[in-house]
Amino acid sequence: MTTAPETLEKQVTGATIWLTGLPSAGKTTIANELAATLRAEGRTVEVLDGDEIREFLSAGLGFSREDRHTNVQRIGFLAELLARNGVLTLVPVIAPYADSREAVRKRHQGAGTAYLEVHVATPLDVCSVRDVKGLYAKQAAGELKGLTGVDDPYEVPESPDLRIESQNQTVQESAAALRALLTERGLAA
């Protein structure tokens, strides 16, 4: 009988944590804050930023409902693949349509991979003041059409695993709330 060497690490459970919300809600900021904390503890973490995905994985897609769905499904496939292989995958992506988010959840469930949906529920007026990328200013000036939550739909999650109101707390407090959920669900120590 052969036994595994004691130097082999315990299998780490991966998961996908999808942070959805309006543009400038704080999704990426919270994800990066949590990722830094978890990496400092030795955890393997990836942040799949929506802007980077659009540049490298979904180049050529527009912002029609169909293209947005395709983009979300591509990200969901990649996230599930990483999570299935022990990576804690944080996905700060708007994903404005409930059916697209549900399809990603079902992909994870079908593979037996943990999936949590986090709604970063920052109000539109706060997001438009933050306006990290200048999208709200461009939309107000008539230079941009189809801005999620303004002149394009955003379907608010009905039953997310966690709702974060980032306007009422610091980034660190928001990340800590998400960390507490991960610990409660057995996905972080």
Q: What's the pLDDT score for residue 51? A: 86
Q: What's the pLDDT score for residue 130? A: 95
Over residues 87-103, the pLDDT tens digits come to: 999 999 999 999 999 99
Instruction: Map out the domains of the chain with their CATH numbers.
Output: 15-183 (3.40.50.300)
Q: CA-CA distance, 27 to 43, in Å (whole number)? A: 20
Over residues 52-72, the pLDDT tens digits come to: 888 888 888 988 999 999 999
In this prediction, residue 121 has a pLDDT band, given cuts at 50, 70 and 90, of very high
Asked if residue 14 lies in contact with residue 114, where contact means CB atoms within 8 angstroms, the answer is yes
Q: What is the mean pLDDT of residues 146-171?
A: 95
Whether the pLDDT of residue 168 is over 90: the answer is yes
Q: What's the pLDDT score for residue 13? A: 84
Q: What's the pLDDT score for residue 6? A: 44
From the annotation, which residues make up the binding site? 21-28
Q: What's the pLDDT score for residue 12? A: 65
Q: What's the pLDDT score for residue 11? A: 53
Taking the complete model, does pTM exceed 0.85, yes or no? yes
Q: What's the pLDDT score for residue 34? A: 98
Q: What is the mean pLDDT of residues 103-113?
A: 96
From the annotation, which residues make up the binding site for ATP? 21-28
